[in-house]
Amino acid sequence: METIVGIKQLVDEGLREVPPLYIRPPDERPTITGSFSMSTEGIDGLPQHLCIPIFDLSPLSYDEEHPAREHLIRDLGRACEEWGFFQVINHGINSSVIQNLRRAAAKFFEQPAEERMRLHSQSFRAPVSYSTSFNPSMERVREWRDTLFFNRFPGFCDGFKEAPAICRKEVQDYINEVEKLARTLYKMIFQSLGLENKYINTDVPDIPRTLMGINYYPPCPNPSLTLGLGSHSDVSCLTVLHPDSEVLGLEINHKGTWVPVLPVDASAFVINLADQVEILTNGKYRSIEHRVLTNGEKARMSIACFFGPLEETVVAPLPVLIDGNNPPKYRATLFKDYNRNFASSRLQPNRGTLDFARI
């Protein structure tokens, strides 16, 4: 069996060129368009109409009928339709919880490769795993990232409890807070469709399944040939991402244009809707393809938390959103089957995971 070596280890050993295994075919290579920067006036170099929406979540501390909360939900709905991605600030999570995890995770990645590789597994179901790329033994081109994953399947395993000691407390503090935020946002997303709480509580699938991936993208000798993560949409319901506020890299495919995501500040989260929400809303809300560029000088780290239904959940467009003028665009699928298809479709070029459910 081939011995898998992570990309961080290869870079640490002194790579001067991008190895052939990591070179993208020309049509997938990124266009490096120059640099963008944040200033107090906003974002330099990026037109306003290409900035993903930003929401101040302070109105969440008001009661349900407060007008500010209602406005927030209405605007959120518009962002879900137009963008499928947005940033949130004043979300109530203390920035020390975020920074503590970023520091502890950095320590994990700074350990010798042998220490990190003790957790090596390419299984998507392992409670804790350290892996590289997406599926290195199967894919045509490797992705320029290593990832530390934690999996929580209720009633089956809780990887957060088994996190390595170097970051265990920080991982737990972070996920406890981010889970609450994810559930709040998930409910608001369905409220923004005009659905009643009673309907949401009974008919919209819950998101008890949590996967956290801490991505490490080492510096790359030639960012124009590689991607940290190739174009994909996320498979579950909702993703809460803490990007790197100093090293950019995330781009989203907004109506055919690759648009960079520029974090507003070090405590902002980037939220995106994933495939199951596109299916549930019958395509009204979108699960947008995104990718990650590599950086020539600096390592980048991001923390992605994916929230989804149980494996045995059947996901289909919500009946209230279907009528004669709006027939179902997606068939009902078992989330387990959807996930299984995801693992193989990511290995083929230009095949979106949503095609599996599209009618």
Ligand X SMILES: O=C(O)CCC(=O)C(=O)O
Judged by CB under 5 A, does residue 244 bind Fe ion?
no
Judged by CB under 6 A, does residue 104 bind ligand X?
no
When the beta carbons of 72 and 264 are compared against ligand X, the nearer one is 264
When the beta carbons of 133 and 281 are compared against ligand X, the nearer one is 133
Judged by CB under 6 A, does residue 243 bind ligand X?
yes
Judged by CB under 5 A, does residue 234 bind Fe ion?
yes
300-359: which residues touch ligand X (CB under 6 A)? 302, 304
Judged by CB under 6 A, does residue 193 bind ligand X?
no
Binding map of ligand X across residues 66-85, x = CB under 6 A, - = no contact: --------------------
Judged by CB under 6 A, does residue 182 bind ligand X?
no
Judged by CB under 5 A, does residue 278 bind Fe ion?
no
Question: Using an 8 Å Cβ cutoff, are 159 and 151 in contact?
Answer: yes
Judged by CB under 6 A, does residue 251 bind ligand X?
no
Cβ 85 to Fe ion shortest distance, Å: 10
> Which of 234, 275, 278, 289 is in the footprint of ligand X by CB under 6 A?
234
Strands 54-56, 85-89: pairing kind: parallel
Closest-approach residue to ligand X (CB): 302
Give the binding-site size for ligand X (rule: CB under 6 A).
Answer: 11
Q: Which of ligand X, Fe ion, none lies near 205, with the C-beta cut-off 5 to 8 A by kind?
A: none
Note the residues at the interface with ligand X (CB under 6 A).
213, 215, 229, 234, 241, 243, 250, 290, 292, 302, 304
